[in-house]
Amino acid sequence: MDETLELPTLDLADVSSTDPARQERASRAILEGFGRYGLLYVKGHEVPPVAPLYDQFAAFCARGTEAKQPFNRADIWYQRGWTPPNTERAVIAGGQPDFKECWFAAPIELDPECVDEFPEVCSANVWPEDAPEFREWTLRVGRELHLAGVALLRQAARALELESETFARLCEGAPHVFRLLKYLPLEREQIEGGVLWGEEHTDFNLLTLLPGGQFFDPDGRRGPAPDSQSGLYLRTRPSAEFPKGQRIRPNPPAGCLVAQVGQELEILTGGKLTATPHEVTAPKTPGWSRFSAAHFVHLHPRAVLSPLRPFRSKEALRAYSPPTLAGTYAQKTLVDIGLAPSNALDALGYRHYDRLVEQRAEGPSS
Ligand SMILES: [Fe+2]
């Protein structure tokens, strides 16, 4: 493992600047960060410090399971409200779920047509009535992370010599989702049994924005990681020198966000930008928890997920086929990771067989 890698920092002020030198610097950060490592650090954003939000989410998590049940929305594949522990699993986790509880909310208004076509991922937000600050902070942090994400997508398009709105337009009105996570304290036996906090995976969306996690000790006090092996790790793109990639621990400068490439952006760019494998390893010390947050910028569910024109080499088309709609891709992935039931896949496509069966059951045809 190499923890000493210097990852690029992109200044959002460079993105909005008309100075060609600053634009050039931002494009270099994108190509180096997203192209080589799958991530970069971001400064110059408006995301407020997240400590108050983590306190509010901690207060929600401290409610009894019974009190949290109304927000446990398996019917909408947990896309809003509370996800109980041991629900989600990474595709490669061998069936073992992550030991975490989460909260999902959509901070950005979405295209109303999506609500009819993809009702679960486009559900209305749910909130505890007695926690207005939790709602307000969740939406505020989510919106600011989203704005930072759209600015990065604009610069990514320029860096790849595409029209600057290419990605921003493709994700307008999409069901972008903001998530709060609490990785739960472990008992000694769970640590020895290898319970997972977050197994290694790549995100399936376009871009993920992380404002930074926070550990809490067994008495609920904020603290640094309890040992050198716990927290968020990322795997860089493979190279001749490192065929498995390098496993690194992001160490952003104070106040910076971490931005990660997701599968949708990798597919659109034919692999020019690469989705970042990441995992959250649990500490070897019992009783510690970790809070974090992530905003997932998605493609519009009706966008076609296939390499864009400049990236449609034979190799890329073979690697990222067959083309699919982003919404369909999301539906399949949510089944893969255990949030949607497997019969959600039966809903894909127009069910003309069902109609024929019903019609035939009506009685003798003439
Ligand atoms: Fe992730």
Query: In sequence order, what are the residues at sequence separation of 6 or more whose Cβ sits closer than 8 angstroms to the Cβ of residue 349?
Result: none
Confidence of residue 85 (pLDDT cuts 50, 70, 90): confident
Tell which residue, 268, 277, 262, has the closest CA to residue 317.
268
Tell which residue, 170, 179, 67, has the closest CA to residue 125.
179
The share of the chain scoring above pLDDT 90, in percent, equals 69
CA of 198 from ligand 1 middle (Å) equals 8
pLDDT of residue 92: 60
CA of 199 from ligand 1 middle (Å) equals 9
CA of 331 from ligand 1 middle (Å) equals 16
Please state, in angstroms and rounded to a whole number, the distance separating the CA atoms of residues 253 and 41. Answer: 8
Element (H, E) at 214: strand 214-216
Confidence of residue 194 (pLDDT cuts 50, 70, 90): confident
What is the chain's mean pLDDT, rounded? 91
CA of 290 from ligand 1 middle (Å) equals 15
**pTM for the model:** 0.92
pLDDT of residue 16: 94
CA of 201 from ligand 1 middle (Å) equals 6
Residue 137: CB atoms within 10 A of its CB come to 20
Task: Please give the backbone phi and psi of residue 200, each rounded to the nearest 5 degrees, phi first.
Answer: -60, 135
Can you read off the two tokens belonging to residue 308? 């864009």
pLDDT value at 4 more than 60: no
pLDDT of residue 91: 63
CA of 202 from ligand 1 middle (Å) equals 6
Confidence of residue 3 (pLDDT cuts 50, 70, 90): low
Segment 311-339, tens digit of pLDDT: 999 999 999 999 999 999 999 999 998 88
CA of 362 from ligand 1 middle (Å) equals 49
Residues 346, 347, 350, 356, Cα dihedral to 10°: 60
Amino acid identity, position 116: D
CA of 264 from ligand 1 middle (Å) equals 13
CA of 332 from ligand 1 middle (Å) equals 16
CA of 181 from ligand 1 middle (Å) equals 11
Beta-strand relationship, 9-11 and 39-43 = parallel
Please state, in angstroms and rounded to a whole number, the distance separating the CA atoms of residues 176 and 166. Answer: 17
The share of the chain scoring above pLDDT 70, in percent, equals 96
Confidence of residue 133 (pLDDT cuts 50, 70, 90): very high
User: How many angstroms separate the Cα of 263 from the Cα of each of 193, 203, 206, 350, 362?
Assistant: 31, 6, 6, 26, 46
Tell which residue, 33, 32, 9, has the closest CA to residue 260.
33
Contact (Cβ atoms closer than 8 angstroms) between residue 46 and residue 290: no
CA of 208 from ligand 1 middle (Å) equals 8
pLDDT value at 77 more than 90: yes
CA of 20 from ligand 1 middle (Å) equals 34
Please state the rounded mean pLDDT for residues 95-107.
Answer: 86
Domain positions in the chain are 9-361
Confidence of residue 195 (pLDDT cuts 50, 70, 90): confident
CA of 203 from ligand 1 middle (Å) equals 5
For domain 9-361, give its CATH number from 3.90.1150.10, 2.60.120.330, 3.40.640.10, 3.30.360.10: 2.60.120.330
Q: Tell me which residue has tokens 């088309």.
A: 317
Range name among 13-17, 157-161, 191-195, 247-251 with the lowest pLDDT average: 191-195
Cis ω for the linkage preceding 322 (within 30 of 0): yes
In DSSP terms, which residues pair with 222 in a beta bridge? 216
Q: What angle (nearest 5°) sits at the alpha carbon of residue 274, between those of residues 122 and 154?
A: 65
Helix residue ranges, H only, the chain:
12-16, 20-32, 51-61, 65-68, 112-117, 132-159, 166-170, 188-192, 263-268, 314-319, 326-336, 352-361
pLDDT value at 280 more than 70: yes
CA of 10 from ligand 1 middle (Å) equals 21
pLDDT value at 222 more than 90: yes
